[in-house]
Structure formats: C-alpha cells, structure tokens
Amino acid sequence: MGGLNDPYFRIVVADKRSPRDGRFIEEIGNYNPKVKGMNFKLDVGRAQHWISKGAVPSDTVRSLLKKAAKAA
C-alpha cells in the first residue's frame, strides 16, 4: 500500500504459502511509519487469536503488539 516516499502497510494474517502481496486470511490492522506518535491501528484480540492458532508474527508486528500492550 502507499506510494513512492509514502509508505503505508496493512497488517494481515496470511498463509505462508501465499505470495507476499497475494491472498490473505484477515486484515487485522495497519501501520504508517511516517506519522509520529501512535502510528498504527491493530486489533490485538484478533492477533492473539491467530497466534494461539499457530501464527508466527514478524519482528515488526511483534514490536507493534508490545507497543499496543503498553498503550492499553
């Protein structure tokens, strides 16, 4: 998502066999690294649900989950 010099990312749950920009199971949030302060929106409950089912979060999503836990 986003454009040249304007990054914007969706946080999704995807099967590891799917291509990076391909099909995904569920969109659970978004992340805009250019914005200062609270630059992401994340459904922590759904993220925890998928992690309990065996999903492995990326390093970036793991750090966003930690930030969301501190903010709550």
Domain assignments of the chain as residue spans, ordered by start: 2-71
Model-level pTM? 0.83
**Residue 68 pLDDT exceeds 80:** yes
38 neighbors 31 (Cβ within 8 angstroms):
no
2-71 folds as S16 Ribosomal Protein; Chain: A; (3.30.1320)
DSSP assignment string, 17-72? TS-TTS--SEEEEEE-TTSSSS-EEE-HHHHHHHHHTT----HHHHHHHHHHHHH-
Structure tokens that stand for 52 in this block = 């309990």
Residues 12-59: tens digit of each pLDDT: 999 989 988 899 999 999 999 999 988 999 999 999 999 999 999 999
SS3 call for 5: coil
**According to the model, what pLDDT value does residue 21 have?**
85
